[in-house]
Each structure stands twice: as C-alpha cells, then as structure tokens.
Amino acid sequence: MDRTVSCYDCGETYTAAERKRCDCGEPLWFDVDPDGFEWPDAGSVDDMWRYADALPVSDSAGIAPGGTPLFRANRLDDYAGCSLSLKNEGQSPTGSFKDRGSAVGIRGTIESGAEWVGTVSHGNMALSTSAYAASAGLECAVFVPADTPPERLELIARHDPHVFRVDGDYGRLYSDTLSLDVGVNFVNSDTPLRVAGQKTVAYEILEQLAPAVPDAISLPVSSGGQASAIWKALRDLARAGVIDEVPRLFLCQAAACDPIATADRNGDTEVTPVTPAETIAVSIANSEPPSGTHALTAARDTGGAVVSVSDEEIRDATDRIATRAGLSVEPSSAVAVAGVRQLCQRGALEASDDVVAILTGSGYKERYGTDVRSRTIGVDDIAGALTSVVDG
C-alpha cells in the first residue's frame, strides 16, 4: 500500500495509504509500469489474478473473479446494427462486474493491516464486498440507502455483514465514508483499489480478442468508476504497445437519470447532479456520480460518447438479450446493448463495426415482471397439446 496513486486530471501524485481522492476533487488511480506489461500467455483467461503484475496487490486464494466469457452474439447483430460481442460479467461469483474490484479491495485491505472493509452501495457492490470479505475472514460494514428493498438486503445478509440503512443524501454518504478514520477501509465504487480491479475486464476483452482490437466498447455508467477503470486499462495497453489503437468508449445511462449524458450533450466539461426520475435500471441510477467528470473525459478522449436510453429501449434490449442470446441480464446491463442500437441507428457506429457490450450483472437477483404465457394440461394430454403448438 506504499504504491503511488495519481490524478488523471491534474497529474498530482500521492501514496495509496494517504489518499483516495485528489486535492482537486477528482478520483485517483494506481499507475502501471508500461515495460512490465505483457499478456501472461496467449489465449485463455482463467481468472483475473493472471494480471496480478498490473495490480497493486498480490493474488489471493478463495473465490476469484474474472475469466468471464466473451462471445459473438450473431443473433443480435440485426437488432444492434453492427457486429456485436457480449462480455458476460453476470457469470462472476456474485453475479456482477463488482467482484473484480471487491477482490482487489479486500486483498488491499488485508495487506494494509485493517480488519474491516466498508462500502456504500445500492446493491451489487454491497453484495460483492460482503461476499469477498466473508471469504477472506474480514469484518464488513455496508451502508445502503434506507429505502433499499428487503429482497436485495436478503441477498447481502447471507454473507453476514454489518448493514447500515442510511437516511439522507447518498452523495454525501459516499464522500463522508472516504474520510472516516475509524479503522475501516472503504472500497467505494471509484476508490483506487476498486478501480484497479475493475480494469481487468478490459485486459480480458483485449486478450480474448487478440490480435483483433474491437472498434468500440459499450457499457453502462453509474458512478463512473468502471468507465474510468476501462479507460485506464486501455491506456495501460496502448502505452505498453500491446494495442495500437484504443477502442472508442460508449457509456450508457437510463434517460431518467443521466447526468453524464446530459453534460456530454450540453458540451459541458464537468458533470453536475440531476434530479432523478424512476427507472427500471435501478443499479445505475446515480444522480450525482463521483467519477462523472472522469467518465465524461474517458468517452470524449477515446472518440466515444455518453448515450441516454429510455426505459422502453432498456426493456426491449433486456428481452432481446434473453430471447436471442440466451442470457438473463439485469435491465441496468441491457442499457449497454440499447445504447449500441441507438448509436447504430443514428450513424455514430456502423454496421461493419466490431462492438463489445459489457453485460455487467446477472438478471437472477431481481424479478421484472416478464409475462408468463403458459397453459395447464393433464398428463394424458401432452402429445395432443404439444402437437397443436408444433404444427400450429
């Protein structure tokens, strides 16, 4: 934990033990030695500890994230409007992309000598942090909004963390926890340890496709931590000479809560809070994203953009991913595919583009009211009932 963290924006550096945010207010990230970077070996991708040399912690036993599948989703090409591949982070141990950062965060906490880890989250990150803390024998504190639904808390509670339901401003809760000095290491969504772990999804995508490089990567954006991590990983790879060109980053938000897309549309250089409306993309409804400006910079720097999609587009994409690619994803993940479709429709992406959409989380943690079309029959009627639909 005596490694250096730096500010992408003003360039200031600190030691990791010292700080989680820059004096200028922006988040910090760990640097990687460009000469020390190469693909561990060709082809296969077991888990993210294969990238341990590019991480600020040593590897760890127990449950390990990474090694999620990347596959061509041919049957979605027409819908998306381009050549679409899917990176399915829903197959992580706790069902979301958050596991990568949790694994590094827990390991970094242990290496720092702390016995407690904490996080501030609406759901996936609280679950992931609790699970990794449990697997490592660390005490864990999670702070969630007071109105977090009981079915989400039930999943978190299985790993037996200390759960605090907090009344009051979420943005303030997020930032206040980072300056607490009570022996708890907070691994929030854009803290350097988490961002370092989240980078590995981009390493994996590039390694899984190597020597090809995708034209674009599309992902949902909420706090901006994941976008920042992927941008950093692509810069690592470019600096190390592993890739010549950096894929364009397209960041996708639900229109009901889209502060980063709003800033992009308006040509602003900073992201400011919005008043959120209801959306089915609950996991990404962050009206005051702590790495929002960072994410906006990442999209622009790579020639990408930040996209807003309606709940109707999100529902439709969720449905298409299930019926044409066979994956059940949370609506917050489907925004990455809905965004690609919109970008292709308006010409920002072309039919010949190779695009990777990151599906950030499994659809099994929530119900979203799919219509069940079924008929009830007797066991004597199976042949007749089946024939009627097969021939029908």
CB of 158 to a second copy, least distance (A): 4
Q: Does 59 bind a second copy (CB under 8 A)?
A: no
Tokens of 101: 């950062």
Q: Does 113 bind a second copy (CB under 8 A)?
A: no
Q: Does 94 bind a second copy (CB under 8 A)?
A: yes
182 CA to centre of own chain: 28
- Pair 83, 355: CB distance under 8 Å: yes
Peptide bond into 211 cis (omega under 30): yes
Q: Does 139 bind a second copy (CB under 8 A)?
A: yes
**Member of 146, 212, 275, 352 binding a second copy (CB under 8 A):** 146
Nearer residue to a second copy within complex by CB, 35 or 181: 181
Q: Does 378 bind a second copy (CB under 8 A)?
A: yes
Closest CA to 37 of 240, 179, 280: 240
Distance CA 85, CA 292 (A): 26
Site for a second copy in 343-362 (CB under 8 A): 362
**Member of 33, 78, 162, 312 binding a second copy (CB under 8 A):** 162
Nearer residue to a second copy within complex by CB, 180 or 210: 180
- Pair 206, 200: CB distance under 8 Å: no
Q: Does 245 bind a second copy (CB under 8 A)?
A: no
Q: Does 42 bind a second copy (CB under 8 A)?
A: no
Nearer residue to a second copy within complex by CB, 264 or 311: 311
Nearer residue to a second copy within complex by CB, 301 or 316: 316
Q: Does 231 bind a second copy (CB under 8 A)?
A: no
**Member of 20, 22, 47, 83 binding a second copy (CB under 8 A):** 47
Nearer residue to a second copy within complex by CB, 312 or 364: 364
**Member of 83, 92, 185, 222 binding a second copy (CB under 8 A):** 92
Distance CA 247, CA 228 (A): 14
Tokens of 99: 């596991």
**Which amino acid type is present at position 68?**
T
Q: Does 387 bind a second copy (CB under 8 A)?
A: yes
Nearer residue to a second copy within complex by CB, 88 or 228: 88
Q: Does 328 bind a second copy (CB under 8 A)?
A: yes
Site for a second copy in 260-319 (CB under 8 A): 319
Contacts of 81 (CB under 8 A, 6+ apart): 340, 341, 343, 344, 345, 349, 351
Q: Does 95 bind a second copy (CB under 8 A)?
A: yes
- Pair 216, 249: CB distance under 8 Å: yes
Beta bridge partners of 305: 250
Q: Does 75 bind a second copy (CB under 8 A)?
A: yes
Tokens of 6: 């730096």
Q: Does 212 bind a second copy (CB under 8 A)?
A: no
**Member of 3, 31, 69, 301 binding a second copy (CB under 8 A):** 69
Size of the residue set binding a second copy (CB under 8 A) = 92
- Pair 364, 95: CB distance under 8 Å: yes
Closest CA to 291 of 260, 266, 263, 268: 260
- Pair 106, 132: CB distance under 8 Å: yes
CB of 222 to a second copy, least distance (A): 20
Only one of the segments 8-16, 23-31, 128-136, 272-280 lies at the binding site for a second copy (rule: CB under 8 A); that segment is 128-136
Distance CA 158, CA 160 (A): 5
Nearer residue to a second copy within complex by CB, 128 or 253: 128
Site for a second copy in 182-211 (CB under 8 A): 182-184
Distance CA 106, CA 118 (A): 10
Helix (H) or strand (E) holding 344: helix 331-345
Distance CA 309, CA 222 (A): 13
Q: Does 168 bind a second copy (CB under 8 A)?
A: yes
